[in-house]
Amino acid sequence: MSTVVIGGGIVGNSLTGWLAELGVTDLVQLDKGPFPNPGGSTGHASNFIFPVDHSKEMTQLTLESMRQYREAGTLHECGGIEVARTEERMEELRRRMASAKSWGIEDCRLVTPAEIKELVPFVDESILLGGFYTPSVAVVDSLRFGTVMREQAQAKGAQVFANTEVTGIDVENGAVRRVRTTRGDFDAATVVIACGVWSPRIARMAGASIPLTPAVHQMIDVGPVPRFLTSKTAVDFPIVRDMDTNMYERQDGQGLEVGSYAHRPILHEPDDIPSIEESATTPTELPFTQEDFELQLEHALQLVPEVLGDESVGIKYAINGLLSLTPDGLPLLGETPEVKGLWAASAVWVKEGPGVGKSVAEWMVHGEPEIDLQSSDVARFYPEQRTPEHIKGRTSEGFNKTYGIVHPAEQWESNRGVRVSPFYERERDLGAVFYEAAAWERPHWYESNAQLVEEYGVQGREHEWDARWWSPIINAEHLAMRQRAAMFDLTAFCVFDVVGPNALDAVQMVAARQMNVPNGRVVYTPVLAPRGGFKSDLTIMKMEDDRFRVVTGGAHGMADMKWFRDHCPDGTRIEDHTSSVCTVGIWGPRARDVLAAITATDVSNEAFPFSTWQELDNGVIASRISYVGDLGWELYTPMERGLELWDALWEAGRPHGVVPAGIGVYGTTGRLEKAYRAFGAELDQDYDVVEADMAWWKVKEEDFVGKAAHVAARDREPAATLCTLTIDELSRTPLGREPIVREDGSPLVDAKGRRSYVTSAGMGPSIGKYILMSYLPPDARDDLYVQYMEQLYPVTVDVVGSRPPFDPDNERIRS
Amino acid sequence: MTGGKMVLAADAQALETKHLGFTISPHEECAVEEAVRIGGEVVVLTLGPAEAEEQLRDCMAIGADRGILLKTSEEWDAQSTAAAIVDAIRAEGPFDLILFGNESADAAGFQVGIRVAHALGLPVVTGLKKIEVQGARVRCERDVGGARDVYEAPLPTVLTVLEGLNLPRYPSVPGRLRARSKPLTVVEPGRPEQKLEKLRLVVPEGQGKQAEILEGAAQVVAVMQSLGVA
């Protein structure tokens, strides 16, 4: 049985090369077009790479890609400057300096307009306030690199077929079996869709979905430019990204390429892309629509008048080039949740291609990539996020944010209100400010609590950026919870049961902690990747001998569900209850009084201890755990009875002063005061359980994924330990991902080469301090700073490890 | 119109243009370039749909001063096209030179320029590869199999030109921006009864296929043998 890679663009070629390198034999690569340019997005890519991104995952993929391009001799370093026309953009560039340091890109610096002029003499620096200069920005030859990788694979025995179109993919018993093509069939146990803009169409042949849309990126090429006639290389001058106009200008030989992400979103359907025969040039180079580029010409002329204002310089080439956009702007990688053996490697740009090729190949061969791909996992989407409305809405909205200033907490505007809890109307009446999680609407705070701000004397935030997407009401809700109690809508949880005679074996294999526990227990457990990093963390309720209920965060729930399904032995199945069960949390010193008022079941500490669950007399399933560090329960009930539960709690809570509270408390303030870790922030594949200071007293006898690595980690000194820091002055409030540095601004680098950065940030209202979490190497405990907007703010290491700053002995949750 | 393989609409009355871009045909492109090079006020005229404004703006971007769009949503035969152009020219007049592409890239009737000249009572010279205005006269050259015919005509006159007359320039960015605000007159002429009736379109055999992909050495050898080089 073969492994078939469909696609011969930068991704398909890189992946084929890496699969061969990792020892995959019987390897086949197909493309419907000719090599080296089969006609996809790679063929018309502008081929430049700016390494710095706010996302760690994307930066790691880009840096790995640059390494490969360089090693293959297909990278030319020319430098690049992201220029600012506005003060708001300058602030964003300062923020980029922080990301550069956090992710280990050393050569960046802010430059003045005069320095920009010196580097790129053909810009009009008078309209600029400054720039972010990265000398390592490069242009690459993605077609040449792809050819090298493909030929390396061929030398190792891979078969490569050009001009071979896929006409069908056969699936048997939920697993891929065969690829049908215009040149005959290939029996295959593993198939990778690396088809860029055509990926949704190919996935559909197998009954899977790859949620991306082809979208237009407009680009023109002007020339010949007199200044470039004497250039010694194809790119003598740094590439300029004109961030505020969503455009770029780059030398290309004697010409200048001008590209734009500023025009209206122009989306296409994969089925409507012309065939190779019908295309004037290639299928992804569509006729230019001049009217969409009019404003862009003016903007470009403002920045490079010497070139574009020259009457002798003509517009020689102009295209509407197609590229892939996804609802959240991230790639689509990994095995599809619908079909075993069918993998996606789609929505990848030239700058990440080789890194993705290597990572997906490792994932396929070793079960885990070296770079954590959790944000790009194709399994991350719920059905509600795979709809045409969602894809069109989000990609249209996201396109113009390509060079945007995107606040870390910024919310989407399109396709909202898709999933709502039974309490939604009540929440709206209370002035809930809704944020979205996994297509669910979740209150982040309630305007009805505004009077609490004064009552508790909560301070606002001075700086607009720090205060954006935030409210002092969050801190007030937190204090009311600690003093009285608060109700939370947690319906966005992903809830599923592992059911069957071998259910215990399945959960034992996935969960790092002991799952052979009495019925009625709730276990919080890390879920480890094979190399011992975090795959997830979640709670599991032992319901019956053959039934375990998994409750996990909405954002990562679908990927978690796939991971459990992948580890289910025959006869064991997954039952998804996410859309049939709603959840209310109630925590705070009065939580027991409130709960006791709506049930006759004994909820005393003796009858209902911490870390257990019970079905109450009213049918509600109550689980006594807490992510905010206070006495209380998660309460689960069928969706249709949700409103009844909410109203009952509300009424019972009134005499006790219970307030509704949002995710601002649940996810940040309450959590950070208790030093609770969050997946995707503190917990990812780069760090292990010991480093997170979450190792429990003994390792269970039973086998589990990541056990050997975990045991090894316990036997060595951690290279870094997750610490709780507090910031000494509150004039600015970092929002996360900023580097922790020494007084001279030098980064902290641990023995594994990882840099210390802020994994989570937020106020601890009850301790009166602003909290940062960060992994610190053992020698970094004093004289530390957080670098925020190019300023250093002193920080104090309050706790090394997981001991909570608030209620360190956990008396509240056990009261 | 540009594009690869021609695909007909279901009724075989038109081409499927969903994936296609539109452009002026090469002969006309050279006519506009020549007019801009000769100088004076350059007016560019076309008969076509509202979208043809884009091509008029393209011409203005390379230097034409203003445009006239004879707007219609239907196809016109050569006779009625010429009549509409004559009406427009009479309404505008007087001109020193009226340049046409020798024939259109789609219908290729070779008629419109000649009909317009006849109707206006002007001399016409066709199939030109070189034009030189010399005072009140124009000197023209036409290729005739290894030699050239040379004509001289008094202005005003009508000339129809061929691709290769010159190398048309690309529009500059300032040219593009200027073109946006240049004057464009839109006229909606009445469409007379057509003397030419289109039955249907047929895509000729082998159209669009300019390359054959060879697989393996044997095929390459066979091709070389058929060419007599191996």
- Residue B15: pLDDT over 90: no
* One-letter amino acid of A361: A
pTM, to two decimals: 0.94
Task: Point out which residues pair with A796 in neighbouring strands.
Answer: A726
Contacts of B208 in chain A (CB under 8 A): 277
Predicted local distance difference test score (pLDDT) of residue A729 = 81
User: In A604-733, where does DSSP find H-type helix?
Assistant: 642-653, 663, 670-673, 707-714
A618-653: per-residue pLDDT in tens?
Answer: 999 999 999 999 999 999 999 999 999 999 999 999
Contacts of B169 in chain A (CB under 8 A): 314
A12-52: per-residue pLDDT in tens?
Answer: 999 999 999 999 999 999 999 999 999 999 999 999 999 99
* Mean pLDDT of the A412-434 span: 98
Burial environment of residue B105 by CB neighbours within 10 A (0 to 12, 13 to 18, 19 or more): middle
Structure tokens at A400: 């113009």
The DSSP result for A24-38, as a single string, is: --SEEEE-SS-SS--
Please, which pLDDT band fits residue A1 given cuts at 50, 70 and 90?
A: confident
Predicted local distance difference test score (pLDDT) of residue B19 = 79
Q: Are strands B66-71 and B43-48 parallel, antiparallel or unpaired?
A: parallel
Please, which pLDDT band fits residue A214 given cuts at 50, 70 and 90?
A: very high
- Per the model's pLDDT, the better-predicted residue between A606 and B196 turns out to be A606
Distances from the Cα of B203 to the Cαs of A440, B5, B196, in angstroms? Answer: 53, 9, 20
Q: Are strands B137-144 and B147-154 parallel, antiparallel or unpaired?
A: antiparallel
Active-site amino acid positions of A? 217, 248, 537
CA–CA dist A688, A312 (Å, integer)? 61
A170-196: per-residue pLDDT in tens?
Answer: 999 999 999 999 999 999 999 999 999
A124-136: per-residue pLDDT in tens?
Answer: 999 999 999 999 9
User: Judged by CB atoms within 8 Å, which residues 285-304 of A form the interface with B?
Assistant: 286-288, 290-291, 294, 297-298, 300-301
A536-555: per-residue pLDDT in tens?
Answer: 999 999 999 999 999 999 99
A60-90: per-residue pLDDT in tens?
Answer: 999 999 999 999 999 999 999 999 999 999 9
Contacts of B177 in chain A (CB under 8 A): 297-298, 301
Percent of the residues in chain A that have a pLDDT greater than 70, as a whole number: 100
Are the CB atoms for A166 and A106 separated by under 8 Å?
no
- Residue A238: pLDDT over 50: yes
Nearest 5°: CA angle at B159, between B153 and B160? 145
User: Judged by CB atoms within 8 Å, which residues 200-219 of B form the interface with A?
Assistant: 208-209, 213
User: B22 φ, ψ to 5°?
Assistant: -115, 145
Predicted local distance difference test score (pLDDT) of residue A359 = 98
Are the CB atoms for A582 and A422 separated by under 8 Å?
yes
Q: How many CA atoms within 13 Å lie on the side-chain side of A550?
A: 36
Are the CB atoms for A155 and A191 separated by under 8 Å?
no
Q: Count other C-beta atoms under 10 Å from residue A651's C-beta.
A: 13
CA nearest to A282 within chain B? B4
Please, which pLDDT band fits residue B207 given cuts at 50, 70 and 90?
A: low
Q: Do A279 and B180 touch (CB under 8 A)?
A: no
A720-767: per-residue pLDDT in tens?
Answer: 999 999 998 888 999 999 999 999 999 999 999 999 999 999 999 999
Q: Do B172 and A314 touch (CB under 8 A)?
A: yes
Please, which pLDDT band fits residue B1 given cuts at 50, 70 and 90?
A: very low
Percent of the residues in chain A that have a pLDDT greater than 90, as a whole number: 97
Give the residue carrying structure tokens 């937020």.
A762
Give the residue carrying structure tokens 């010196």.
A118
Which secondary-structure segment (H or E) carries A727? strand A721-727
CA–CA dist A293, A273 (Å, integer)? 21
A111-167: per-residue pLDDT in tens?
Answer: 999 999 999 999 999 999 999 999 999 999 999 999 999 999 999 999 999 999 999
* Structure-derived torsion over alpha carbons of residues A402, A408, A410, A415, reported in degrees to the nearest 10: 70
- Residue B206: pLDDT over 70: no
Which secondary-structure segment (H or E) carries B61? helix B53-61
- Residue B134: pLDDT over 90: yes
B41-92: per-residue pLDDT in tens?
Answer: 999 999 999 999 999 999 999 999 999 999 999 999 999 999 999 999 999 9
Burial environment of residue A553 by CB neighbours within 10 A (0 to 12, 13 to 18, 19 or more): buried
Q: Do B20 and A280 touch (CB under 8 A)?
A: yes
Q: How many CA atoms within 13 Å lie on the side-chain side of A812?
A: 25
Percent of the residues in chain B that have a pLDDT greater than 70, as a whole number: 95
Closest residue by Cα to residue A50 from A66, A74, A71, A70: A66
A244-267: per-residue pLDDT in tens?
Answer: 999 999 999 999 999 999 999 999
Q: Do A315 and B173 touch (CB under 8 A)?
A: yes
Predicted local distance difference test score (pLDDT) of residue A386 = 97
Q: Do A279 and B19 touch (CB under 8 A)?
A: yes
Structure tokens at A118: 């010196």
Structure tokens at B81: 């096209």
CA nearest to B2 within chain A? A280
Angle between helices A142-155 and A10-21 (to 10 degrees): 30
Closest residue by Cα to residue A479 from A699, A731, A765: A765
Q: Do B4 and A280 touch (CB under 8 A)?
A: yes
How are the residues of chain B apportioned to helix, strand and coil, as percentages rounded to the nearest 5?
A: 30, 25, 45
Predicted local distance difference test score (pLDDT) of residue B211 = 67
- Three-state SS at B215: coil
Percent of the residues in chain B that have a pLDDT greater than 90, as a whole number: 69
Predicted local distance difference test score (pLDDT) of residue B210 = 63
- Residue B208: pLDDT over 60: no
Predicted local distance difference test score (pLDDT) of residue B212 = 72
Question: A778: cis peptide before it, omega within 30°?
Answer: no
Are the CB atoms for A441 and A628 separated by under 8 Å?
no
- Chain A / chain B CB contacts < 8 angstroms: 72
The shortest CB-CB distance from A277 to any of B4, B20, B170 is to B4
